[in-house]
Amino acid sequence: MKCSDLGEFELIARLARTLPHDPSVVGGVGDDCAVLRSRDPSRYLLFKTDPVIEGTHFVFRCSKKTKVPPATPFQVGWKAMARNLSDIAAMGGVPRWALVSLGLPAQTDVKAVDGIYRGLNACASQFGALIVGGDTSQTSDKLFVVVSLVGEVEKNFLKLRSAARAGQRVFVTGALGGSRRHKHLTFTPRVEEARWLAKNFPVAAMIDVSDGLAGDLRRLSEKSRVGFDILADAVPVSAAAEKMSRTDRRSPLGHALRDGEDFELLFTMDANYADDLLRRWHRKFALPLASIGVVTKFPDRIRFIGAPTSEVTGYEHFR
Protein backbone atom coordinates (compact mmCIF):
# COMPACT_ATOMS: atom_id res chain seq x y z
CA MET A 1 0.00 0.00 0.00
CA LYS A 2 1.26 3.46 -0.89
CA CYS A 3 1.19 6.57 1.27
CA SER A 4 -1.04 8.21 -1.30
CA ASP A 5 -3.72 5.58 -0.50
CA LEU A 6 -3.76 6.45 3.20
CA GLY A 7 -3.82 10.21 3.58
CA GLU A 8 -1.93 12.45 5.95
CA PHE A 9 -4.17 11.99 8.99
CA GLU A 10 -3.97 8.19 8.89
CA LEU A 11 -0.17 8.33 8.49
CA ILE A 12 0.08 10.49 11.60
CA ALA A 13 -2.36 8.21 13.44
CA ARG A 14 -0.10 5.24 12.65
CA LEU A 15 2.75 7.05 14.37
CA ALA A 16 0.53 7.96 17.31
CA ARG A 17 -0.40 4.32 17.90
CA THR A 18 3.25 3.33 18.28
CA LEU A 19 4.10 5.92 20.90
CA PRO A 20 4.51 5.04 24.57
CA HIS A 21 2.53 6.94 27.21
CA ASP A 22 4.40 9.06 29.70
CA PRO A 23 3.34 11.27 32.60
CA SER A 24 5.42 14.16 31.24
CA VAL A 25 3.11 14.43 28.23
CA VAL A 26 -0.15 16.31 28.81
CA GLY A 27 -1.17 16.25 25.16
CA GLY A 28 0.64 15.21 22.05
CA VAL A 29 -0.20 13.70 18.72
CA GLY A 30 -3.64 14.90 17.77
CA ASP A 31 -3.47 18.45 19.05
CA ASP A 32 -1.82 21.50 17.52
CA CYS A 33 1.31 21.08 19.65
CA ALA A 34 2.76 18.64 22.11
CA VAL A 35 2.06 19.83 25.66
CA LEU A 36 4.81 18.91 28.11
CA ARG A 37 5.19 19.13 31.87
CA SER A 38 8.23 21.31 32.46
CA ARG A 39 9.92 21.83 35.81
CA ASP A 40 7.95 25.07 36.21
CA PRO A 41 4.78 24.09 38.10
CA SER A 42 2.80 27.01 36.66
CA ARG A 43 3.50 26.44 32.96
CA TYR A 44 3.59 23.81 30.25
CA LEU A 45 6.11 23.68 27.46
CA LEU A 46 4.64 23.60 23.95
CA PHE A 47 6.58 21.90 21.16
CA LYS A 48 5.78 21.88 17.46
CA THR A 49 7.39 21.18 14.10
CA ASP A 50 5.86 21.70 10.70
CA PRO A 51 7.57 21.60 7.32
CA VAL A 52 7.17 23.77 4.24
CA ILE A 53 8.09 21.88 1.07
CA GLU A 54 8.54 23.19 -2.46
CA GLY A 55 5.85 21.76 -4.71
CA THR A 56 3.59 20.87 -1.76
CA HIS A 57 3.28 24.08 0.28
CA PHE A 58 4.60 26.60 -2.26
CA VAL A 59 6.07 26.86 -5.75
CA PHE A 60 8.89 29.07 -6.96
CA ARG A 61 7.54 29.09 -10.51
CA CYS A 62 3.96 29.60 -11.60
CA SER A 63 2.34 26.40 -12.76
CA LYS A 64 -0.18 26.75 -15.59
CA LYS A 65 -1.96 23.65 -14.39
CA THR A 66 -2.66 24.69 -10.81
CA LYS A 67 -2.47 28.49 -11.28
CA VAL A 68 -0.82 28.77 -7.86
CA PRO A 69 1.09 32.06 -7.70
CA PRO A 70 4.83 31.66 -7.10
CA ALA A 71 6.37 32.47 -3.72
CA THR A 72 9.31 34.75 -3.04
CA PRO A 73 12.06 33.35 -0.77
CA PHE A 74 10.99 35.86 1.92
CA GLN A 75 7.46 34.46 1.78
CA VAL A 76 8.72 30.87 2.06
CA GLY A 77 10.61 31.80 5.24
CA TRP A 78 7.65 33.74 6.59
CA LYS A 79 5.24 30.88 5.96
CA ALA A 80 7.56 28.27 7.49
CA MET A 81 7.72 30.28 10.72
CA ALA A 82 4.10 31.47 10.73
CA ARG A 83 2.62 27.96 10.43
CA ASN A 84 4.33 26.94 13.65
CA LEU A 85 3.46 30.18 15.43
CA SER A 86 -0.17 29.58 14.49
CA ASP A 87 -0.10 26.22 16.29
CA ILE A 88 1.41 27.71 19.45
CA ALA A 89 -1.28 30.43 19.30
CA ALA A 90 -4.06 27.86 19.01
CA MET A 91 -2.97 26.34 22.36
CA GLY A 92 -3.19 29.75 24.05
CA GLY A 93 0.60 29.91 24.29
CA VAL A 94 3.52 32.24 23.74
CA PRO A 95 6.26 31.30 21.25
CA ARG A 96 9.82 31.30 22.59
CA TRP A 97 12.59 29.56 20.61
CA ALA A 98 12.82 28.28 17.03
CA LEU A 99 15.25 26.09 15.11
CA VAL A 100 15.42 26.00 11.33
CA SER A 101 16.37 23.03 9.19
CA LEU A 102 16.88 23.88 5.51
CA GLY A 103 17.07 21.33 2.72
CA LEU A 104 18.62 23.02 -0.30
CA PRO A 105 19.24 21.77 -3.82
CA ALA A 106 22.89 22.48 -4.75
CA GLN A 107 21.87 24.93 -7.47
CA THR A 108 19.85 27.13 -5.08
CA ASP A 109 20.92 30.76 -5.33
CA VAL A 110 22.47 32.00 -2.10
CA LYS A 111 20.31 35.13 -2.43
CA ALA A 112 17.27 32.89 -2.10
CA VAL A 113 18.66 31.43 1.13
CA ASP A 114 19.23 34.94 2.47
CA GLY A 115 15.65 35.83 1.53
CA ILE A 116 14.32 32.77 3.36
CA TYR A 117 16.32 33.76 6.45
CA ARG A 118 14.93 37.30 6.25
CA GLY A 119 11.38 35.97 6.09
CA LEU A 120 11.98 33.59 8.99
CA ASN A 121 13.49 36.35 11.14
CA ALA A 122 10.87 38.95 10.25
CA CYS A 123 8.04 36.63 11.23
CA ALA A 124 9.75 35.30 14.37
CA SER A 125 10.62 38.74 15.71
CA GLN A 126 7.18 40.17 15.00
CA PHE A 127 5.60 37.53 17.24
CA GLY A 128 8.22 37.28 19.96
CA ALA A 129 9.97 34.08 18.85
CA LEU A 130 13.74 33.82 18.70
CA ILE A 131 15.63 31.72 16.15
CA VAL A 132 18.37 30.03 18.16
CA GLY A 133 20.00 27.79 15.59
CA GLY A 134 19.81 26.16 12.25
CA ASP A 135 21.15 23.58 9.95
CA THR A 136 21.42 23.25 6.18
CA SER A 137 21.65 20.05 4.18
CA GLN A 138 21.81 19.36 0.53
CA THR A 139 18.75 17.82 -1.07
CA SER A 140 18.63 16.59 -4.61
CA ASP A 141 15.41 18.11 -5.83
CA LYS A 142 12.97 20.24 -3.89
CA LEU A 143 13.76 22.86 -1.27
CA PHE A 144 12.28 22.46 2.19
CA VAL A 145 12.22 24.49 5.40
CA VAL A 146 11.38 22.75 8.67
CA VAL A 147 10.88 25.05 11.66
CA SER A 148 10.71 23.59 15.16
CA LEU A 149 9.26 25.82 17.81
CA VAL A 150 9.23 25.70 21.60
CA GLY A 151 6.69 27.85 23.40
CA GLU A 152 5.09 27.98 26.80
CA VAL A 153 1.67 28.48 28.26
CA GLU A 154 0.39 29.16 31.76
CA LYS A 155 -1.49 26.05 32.86
CA ASN A 156 -4.78 27.91 33.23
CA PHE A 157 -4.53 29.36 29.70
CA LEU A 158 -3.92 26.05 27.90
CA LYS A 159 -6.50 25.39 25.17
CA LEU A 160 -7.05 21.84 23.92
CA ARG A 161 -9.07 20.40 21.07
CA SER A 162 -10.82 18.11 23.52
CA ALA A 163 -12.64 20.81 25.52
CA ALA A 164 -15.70 21.46 23.30
CA ARG A 165 -19.00 20.71 25.07
CA ALA A 166 -22.58 20.51 23.83
CA GLY A 167 -24.33 23.85 24.01
CA GLN A 168 -21.24 25.98 23.44
CA ARG A 169 -21.06 28.46 20.61
CA VAL A 170 -18.56 28.15 17.75
CA PHE A 171 -16.48 31.12 16.60
CA VAL A 172 -13.99 31.67 13.81
CA THR A 173 -11.71 34.61 13.07
CA GLY A 174 -11.08 36.20 9.69
CA ALA A 175 -12.52 34.99 6.39
CA LEU A 176 -12.03 31.52 4.98
CA GLY A 177 -11.10 29.91 1.67
CA GLY A 178 -8.91 30.66 -1.30
CA SER A 179 -5.77 30.98 0.79
CA ARG A 180 -3.54 29.51 -1.89
CA ARG A 181 -4.14 32.53 -4.10
CA HIS A 182 -1.97 34.60 -1.80
CA LYS A 183 -2.75 34.51 1.91
CA HIS A 184 -0.99 31.20 2.67
CA LEU A 185 2.35 32.93 2.00
CA THR A 186 1.73 36.13 3.94
CA PHE A 187 -0.79 35.33 6.66
CA THR A 188 -0.67 36.72 10.17
CA PRO A 189 -0.52 34.00 12.81
CA ARG A 190 -3.17 34.88 15.42
CA VAL A 191 -0.78 34.92 18.37
CA GLU A 192 -1.98 38.22 19.78
CA GLU A 193 -5.67 37.43 19.32
CA ALA A 194 -5.37 33.97 20.87
CA ARG A 195 -3.55 35.31 23.94
CA TRP A 196 -6.18 38.00 24.37
CA LEU A 197 -8.91 35.37 24.15
CA ALA A 198 -7.18 33.03 26.61
CA LYS A 199 -6.62 35.84 29.11
CA ASN A 200 -10.06 37.47 28.89
CA PHE A 201 -12.59 34.74 28.13
CA PRO A 202 -13.29 31.15 29.16
CA VAL A 203 -12.49 29.76 25.71
CA ALA A 204 -13.09 25.98 25.75
CA ALA A 205 -11.60 24.20 22.70
CA MET A 206 -9.38 26.01 20.20
CA ILE A 207 -7.60 24.98 16.98
CA ASP A 208 -6.09 26.80 14.04
CA VAL A 209 -7.90 26.23 10.76
CA SER A 210 -5.20 24.64 8.63
CA ASP A 211 -7.01 21.90 6.73
CA GLY A 212 -10.29 23.61 5.90
CA LEU A 213 -13.07 24.50 8.33
CA ALA A 214 -14.85 21.19 7.66
CA GLY A 215 -11.69 19.16 8.32
CA ASP A 216 -10.81 21.03 11.48
CA LEU A 217 -14.34 20.78 12.87
CA ARG A 218 -13.94 17.04 12.32
CA ARG A 219 -10.78 17.11 14.45
CA LEU A 220 -12.50 19.02 17.26
CA SER A 221 -15.40 16.59 16.99
CA GLU A 222 -13.12 13.55 17.35
CA LYS A 223 -11.15 14.95 20.26
CA SER A 224 -14.15 16.34 22.17
CA ARG A 225 -16.67 13.60 21.19
CA VAL A 226 -19.23 16.17 20.15
CA GLY A 227 -20.96 17.27 16.98
CA PHE A 228 -21.41 20.64 15.30
CA ASP A 229 -24.34 22.44 13.75
CA ILE A 230 -22.85 25.19 11.62
CA LEU A 231 -24.94 27.79 9.85
CA ALA A 232 -23.64 27.87 6.29
CA ASP A 233 -24.71 31.50 5.92
CA ALA A 234 -22.68 32.50 8.98
CA VAL A 235 -19.39 31.06 7.67
CA PRO A 236 -17.18 34.01 6.69
CA VAL A 237 -16.18 33.56 3.05
CA SER A 238 -13.05 35.36 1.84
CA ALA A 239 -12.87 37.57 -1.23
CA ALA A 240 -10.26 35.15 -2.60
CA ALA A 241 -12.76 32.27 -2.30
CA GLU A 242 -15.35 34.35 -4.19
CA LYS A 243 -12.82 35.08 -6.93
CA MET A 244 -11.72 31.46 -7.26
CA SER A 245 -15.29 30.27 -7.55
CA ARG A 246 -15.69 32.38 -10.69
CA THR A 247 -13.04 30.35 -12.52
CA ASP A 248 -13.62 26.84 -11.14
CA ARG A 249 -16.79 24.88 -10.60
CA ARG A 250 -16.80 25.16 -6.81
CA SER A 251 -18.97 27.49 -4.76
CA PRO A 252 -17.45 30.20 -2.54
CA LEU A 253 -18.77 28.26 0.49
CA GLY A 254 -17.10 25.10 -0.81
CA HIS A 255 -13.81 26.93 -0.84
CA ALA A 256 -14.40 28.32 2.65
CA LEU A 257 -15.14 24.84 4.03
CA ARG A 258 -12.56 22.78 2.20
CA ASP A 259 -9.54 24.87 1.20
CA GLY A 260 -6.54 24.49 3.48
CA GLU A 261 -4.17 26.94 5.10
CA ASP A 262 -6.50 29.64 6.40
CA PHE A 263 -4.59 29.78 9.71
CA GLU A 264 -7.51 31.42 11.48
CA LEU A 265 -8.65 30.56 15.02
CA LEU A 266 -11.63 28.26 15.48
CA PHE A 267 -12.89 27.99 19.06
CA THR A 268 -15.85 27.16 21.25
CA MET A 269 -17.16 28.97 24.33
CA ASP A 270 -20.12 29.03 26.66
CA ALA A 271 -22.97 30.86 24.87
CA ASN A 272 -23.46 33.26 27.82
CA TYR A 273 -20.23 35.06 26.93
CA ALA A 274 -20.95 35.45 23.23
CA ASP A 275 -22.35 38.99 23.26
CA ASP A 276 -19.64 40.32 25.53
CA LEU A 277 -16.96 38.60 23.45
CA LEU A 278 -18.16 40.01 20.15
CA ARG A 279 -18.52 43.52 21.59
CA ARG A 280 -15.07 43.60 23.17
CA TRP A 281 -13.44 41.86 20.20
CA HIS A 282 -14.67 44.42 17.71
CA ARG A 283 -13.47 47.24 19.93
CA LYS A 284 -10.01 45.67 20.13
CA PHE A 285 -9.36 44.09 16.69
CA ALA A 286 -10.06 45.03 13.08
CA LEU A 287 -10.03 41.30 12.25
CA PRO A 288 -13.56 39.87 11.83
CA LEU A 289 -14.91 37.39 14.38
CA ALA A 290 -17.97 35.34 13.45
CA SER A 291 -20.31 33.24 15.56
CA ILE A 292 -21.00 30.36 13.17
CA GLY A 293 -22.93 27.70 15.08
CA VAL A 294 -23.23 25.48 18.13
CA VAL A 295 -21.66 22.38 19.63
CA THR A 296 -24.07 19.44 19.83
CA LYS A 297 -24.00 16.22 21.83
CA PHE A 298 -23.88 13.98 18.74
CA PRO A 299 -20.33 12.72 18.19
CA ASP A 300 -19.11 12.87 14.58
CA ARG A 301 -22.25 14.65 13.35
CA ILE A 302 -21.08 17.77 11.58
CA ARG A 303 -23.90 19.56 9.81
CA PHE A 304 -23.63 22.63 7.66
CA ILE A 305 -27.15 23.90 7.77
CA GLY A 306 -28.07 25.35 4.41
CA ALA A 307 -25.13 23.82 2.52
CA PRO A 308 -25.01 20.83 0.16
CA THR A 309 -23.47 17.79 1.96
CA SER A 310 -20.99 17.36 -0.90
CA GLU A 311 -19.07 20.30 0.49
CA VAL A 312 -18.04 19.03 3.90
CA THR A 313 -14.94 16.95 3.25
CA GLY A 314 -11.70 18.26 4.73
CA TYR A 315 -8.54 18.91 2.82
CA GLU A 316 -5.58 16.55 3.07
CA HIS A 317 -2.11 16.81 1.64
CA PHE A 318 -2.04 13.20 0.45
CA ARG A 319 -4.48 12.34 -2.28
By C-alpha distance, which of 144, 133, 129, 132 is closest to 86?
129
Helix (H, G, I), strand (E, B) or coil at 31: strand
Does 65 bind a copy of itself (CB under 8 A)? Our answer is no
Residue from 60, 273, 285, 318 in contact with a copy of itself (CB under 8 A): 318
Candidate segments 113-121, 169-177, 260-268, 278-286, binder of a copy of itself by CB under 8 A: 113-121
The footprint of a copy of itself on residues 13-42 (CB under 8 A) is 14-16, 18-20, 22, 24-25, 28-29, 33-34, 36, 38-40
* Strand-pair category, 227-231 with 130-138: unpaired
Give the nearer residue to a copy of itself in terms of CB position, either 140 or 247. Answer: 140
Q: Give least dist CB 158 to a copy of itself, A.
A: 15
Position 162 contacts a copy of itself (CB under 8 A): no
Rounded to 5 degrees, φ, ψ at 84 are -70, -40
> Binding residue for a copy of itself (CB under 8 A) from 113, 234, 274, 278?
113
Q: Does 100 bind a copy of itself (CB under 8 A)?
A: yes
Q: Of 63, 67, 105, 202, which lies in the binding site for a copy of itself, with binding defined by CB under 8 A?
A: 105
Please report how close the Cβ of residue 95 comes to a copy of itself at its closest, in angstroms: 12
Interatomic CA distance for residues 34 and 51, integer angstroms: 16
221, 302 contact by CB (below 8 A): yes
Contact 271, 201 (CB under 8 A): no
Under the binding rule (CB under 8 A), the answer on residue 158 touching a copy of itself is no
**5 secondary structure, DSSP code:** H
Identity of the amino acid at 4 = S
In order of 121, 164, 265, 317, the CA distances from 217 in angstroms are: 32, 11, 12, 17
Q: What would the x/- binding string for a copy of itself be over residues 114 to 143, using CB under 8 A?
A: x--xx--x---x----xxxxxxxxxxxxx-
| Cβ-based nearer residue to a copy of itself, 22 or 247 | 22
Q: Does 72 bind a copy of itself (CB under 8 A)?
A: no
Helix, coil or strand: residue 220 = helix
Q: Does 49 bind a copy of itself (CB under 8 A)?
A: yes
**E-assigned strands of 222-301?**
227-231, 264-269, 289-296
Q: Which amino acid, residue 183?
A: K
Phi-psi region for residue 51, left (φ > 0), alpha (ψ -120 to 50) or beta?
Answer: beta
CB 273 within 8 A of CB 201: yes
Q: Judged by CB under 8 A, which of 64, 65, 66, 110 binds a copy of itself? A: 110
Neighbours of 214 (CB within 10 A): 24
| Binding residue for a copy of itself, selected from 91, 104, 205, 230, defined by CB under 8 A | 104
Give the residue with the Cβ less far from a copy of itself, 193 or 259. 259
Of 60-68, 96-104, 175-183, 201-209, the segment contacting a copy of itself by CB under 8 A is 96-104
Binding range to a copy of itself, per CB under 8 A, among 9-17, 155-163, 218-226, 290-298: 9-17
